[in-house]
Amino acid sequence: MSDAKLQDVLSSLSEVYRQLNSIPPSPVPEAGCVKLNTNENPFALPAPVMQSALAALERQYLYPEYDNISLREAAAASYDLSMDQVIAGNGSSELLSLIYRAFLGPGDSAAMLSPGFAYNRKLAQLQGARLLEIKWGETCLLPIHKLLFGPAKEAKFILLANPNNPTGTFVPIADIESLVAQSDRLIVLDEAYVDFAPDSALRLIDRYSNLLILRTFSKSYAAAGIRVGLGFGHPEVIGRLRNIQNLFNMNVIGQAVGVSILAHRDAYDENHRHIKYERERVKFALSQLGFSVTPSHTNFLLARVPAGRDGPWWQTSLKRKKILVTVLPDDGLEDCIRVSIGTKPQMDAFLAAVEDILGAQTSRSSAV
């Protein structure tokens, strides 16, 4: 295609999308790396859940069930809700994108507690809307007054994750309730990491029509590649979101695995125990090595690196040793890396790589 033609094609993009760049070339697959950068849960599915996935494959020629009825019924039964209070998504990121599409038009704004899940920035941009980033209070307290009376008052909805990504911190449910009770905005509470935390806000759902809770099976149920997310809220809000979902948004495997995970949640107890144990072990080891690690209620750690280098330097140094971690685009987190908690051998490999890097630094500086 000639450049002139390409310009014609691009000029036909809708106004909002014209502002966005095309995405850069795909990164080379990271074969052979220890992947600790996207907070997956590296364990196998429990055997009955795996069997349900394989059985679902035999229904590959059929469209999936319309409106995810069986999965929504199973979730309603598991969480003591009615089916109309439940929406099922192709991962919780699909549900997030529905919320932005439903509530935000060009020029509108939503508010997010910051630092938060970076994907929200893109979702607001796609709507031609603004994402107001409201800073968490000192030691990650919920800034309720700012959310009720500051610029967030104009936002169409307020989004926060509890526990939060990327800090791993958790705020008491009483604080969330205080915000939901006093606000006239929709409060979107992303509980992606709740199974690693001490409490959940689910019990508030029947009490407040302005609360919408999101869950995912990507983190605590080891199903990131299968894409299962759930949303809980008032039937009227949930109904509006279901109404704009893609036809057949989930596939047969996601639906079947979702139902089966709900029936076998106990089978994950050992998985969760392991992750919490490794999290504390790695936190302690990193602290001994000069990192400052935020207490975490998730399956990852936010670690401030020792003085002298920044997060991207550590990310590159670890990548050379085939360990992948994340750095954060947020102000004040330039000196941090985020590390997912994996298996013991994975975490041993990570710690050994950190020790090697520190050792090489020490021998280089003592040789000077």
Ligand X SMILES: Cc1ncc(COP(=O)(O)O)c(C=O)c1O
Neighbouring CB atoms inside 10 A of 154's CB total: 12
Residue 143's alpha-carbon distances to 26, 124, 171, 300, in angstroms, are: 39, 22, 11, 24
Span near ligand X by CB under 6 A; candidates 29-37, 48-56, 91-99, 357-365? 91-99
Binding of ligand X at residue 161 (CB under 6 A)?
yes
Per the CB < 8 A criterion, the answer to whether 210 and 185 are in contact is: yes
Span near ligand X by CB under 6 A; candidates 21-29, 89-97, 196-204, 251-259? 89-97
In the complex, minimum distance from the CB of residue 296 to ligand X, in angstroms, rounded to a whole number? 13
Binding of ligand X at residue 68 (CB under 6 A)?
no
Span near ligand X by CB under 6 A; candidates 128-136, 149-157, 216-224, 287-295? 216-224
Total binding residues toward ligand X, as defined by CB under 6 A: 13
Span near ligand X by CB under 6 A; candidates 48-56, 88-96, 176-184, 306-314? 88-96
In the complex, minimum distance from the CB of residue 356 to ligand X, in angstroms, rounded to a whole number? 28
- Of 93 and 249, which has the nearer Cβ to ligand X? 93
Binding of ligand X at residue 162 (CB under 6 A)?
no
Interface with ligand X (CB under 6 A), residue from 92, 271, 294, 315:
92
- Nearest residue to 229 via CA among 244, 238, 237, 219: 219
Element (H, E) at 120: helix 119-126
Binding of ligand X at residue 165 (CB under 6 A)?
yes
Interaction with ligand X in 184-203: which residues (CB under 6 A)?
190, 192
Per the CB < 8 A criterion, the answer to whether 132 and 151 are in contact is: yes
Binding of ligand X at residue 91 (CB under 6 A)?
yes
Element (H, E) at 282: helix 269-288
Per the CB < 8 A criterion, the answer to whether 36 and 28 are in contact is: no
Query: Which residues in 97-136 are b (16+ Cβ under 10 Å) and which e?
Result: bbbbebbbeeebbbbbbbbbbeebeebbbbbbbbbbbbeb
- Of 216 and 255, which has the nearer Cβ to ligand X? 216
Element (H, E) at 57: helix 47-57
Q: Is 331 helix (H, G, I), strand (E, B) or coil?
A: coil
In the complex, minimum distance from the CB of residue 345 to ligand X, in angstroms, rounded to a whole number? 23
Interface with ligand X (CB under 6 A), residue from 93, 162, 299, 340:
93
Interface with ligand X (CB under 6 A), residue from 126, 148, 224, 349:
224
Binding of ligand X at residue 39 (CB under 6 A)?
yes
d(CA 332, CA 228): 33
Q: Which residue has the tokens 């899940």?
A: 117
d(CA 64, CA 198): 35
Span near ligand X by CB under 6 A; candidates 85-93, 244-252, 278-286, 321-329? 85-93
- Of 130 and 219, which has the nearer Cβ to ligand X? 219
Interface with ligand X (CB under 6 A): 39, 91-93, 117, 161, 165, 190, 192, 216, 218, 224, 229
